[in-house]
Amino acid sequence: MSDAPDNASVRLLGRDRTPFLPDRLWLDGAWVSRADRPARWEEAARADVAVTTQTRGVVPSSSASMPSVVADILDACAVRPGHRVLEIGAGTGYTAALLKDRVGPHGSVASIEVDPEVAARARRNLDAAGVDVEVVCGDGFAGLKRGGPYDRVHVTCAMRHVPTAWLEQCAGGRIAMPWGPAFSTDRVVALDVADGQGVGRFGAVASFMVMRAQRSRAWDAWPEGGETRPVDLGLDWRRLDGPLGGFGEFVVGLLLPGVTHRTSGGDPEDGERVVWLERDGVYASVGFGAGVPTTATGDERLIRDYADAVAWWYDHGRPESAGFGLTVTADGERAHQRVWFGSPHGPAWEH
């Protein structure tokens, strides 16, 4: 048995991500340089964690994803030798290299990156590693018509809206991506495309940076709460809290198209937690906890919709995300998105 320290990227993906990482990583809220703190840098590079490689202010804007999650999306994508693959979000260039490993000499990989600096670095990293991948700087939402048709589209930024362009450029193929409702983080979904429609069931948890133009600005400035009033939603505080922060958050989000949220306050066991809701610039909040009355501010409709979604989740036995799937149909620039429960013919919500 080897006593070399574990390197998660080698073990899980068959290629070391270290050569693709910049000399400075953003770890625990500060930059760590490889020259000054080599042990800490190496530890993060080898671990099964996502590492931020670029920030805007203190907000992460590019990263190398967590190796185990990279493995989940690659598995879902089912890339085979000879495939033509389009990647969205080159980042460090690492997953583009993994895709090239899988398609082999008779396949091809093109990767689109929206940030010019990041694209240039991905290109340098891939050249240095001797990997033949075309890196294009541009908006991945439009896909890359000139290299198509593709067998696979492999997406490494989280999607809220799937473009019709991908369905057209990958007709008859598969699109694998992290997808989430506006309310929550993402799940991996692989859409099998046929006749202008992609269909797939939600899989593993994946928390990714949302595609740049699709990031919500709703919470850049905190809204005025307005007058607080007591409210009876027919659910006790434990139920109102139940889906938040757990697997139910994704599912409740599927039932609340276009709704975003934040929470504030502490542990509702010994204080009050507040869930803040937003839809189309309209806000509301619900406060609850052990021994405190449930109160609300803002839009009544939004509050009732949240309570109805939570009640639905409990009434259906708290289903997990694998019980749901996504059908995406070509329709203008943004494809039409329908989330379903059970089967594509089951109850559905338009996103």
Ligand X SMILES: C[S@@+](CC[C@H](N)C(=O)[O-])C[C@H]1O[C@@H](n2cnc3c(N)ncnc32)[C@H](O)[C@@H]1O
The residues of the shown chain that bind ligand X, judged by CB under 6 A, are: 62-65, 88-89, 91-92, 94-95, 112-115, 118, 139-141, 156-157, 208-209, 211-213
DSSP-based three-state secondary structure for 201: strand
Min separation Cβ 2 and ligand X, Å:
26
User: C-alpha distances in angstroms, 116 versus 122, 135, 136, 344?
Assistant: 10, 10, 9, 39
Nearer to ligand X, 57 or 234 (CB): 57
Please report, to the nearest 10 degrees, the dihedral formed by the alpha carbons of residues 297, 303, 306, 307 taken in order.
Answer: 110
Question: 149: cis peptide before it, omega within 30°?
Answer: yes
d(CA 164, CA 142): 9
Nearer to ligand X, 217 or 345 (CB): 217
Closest CA to 181 of 245, 243, 252, 247: 252
Nearer to ligand X, 113 or 151 (CB): 113
Min separation Cβ 205 and ligand X, Å:
15
Neighbours of 96 (CB within 10 A): 30
d(CA 253, CA 239): 15
In the set 9, 63, 65, 184, the catalytic residue is 65
CB burial of residue 289 (10 Å; 0-12, 13-18, 19+): buried
Min separation Cβ 62 and ligand X, Å:
4
Tokens representing residue 152 in the block: 């696979």
Min separation Cβ 14 and ligand X, Å:
14
Nearer to ligand X, 101 or 139 (CB): 139
Min separation Cβ 65 and ligand X, Å:
5
343 is known as an active-site residue: no
- Antiparallel, parallel or unpaired: β 292-298 and 324-329: unpaired
Tokens representing residue 220 in the block: 């850049």
Nearer to ligand X, 83 or 279 (CB): 83
Hey, what amino acid is at 90? A
The catalytic site residues sit at: 65
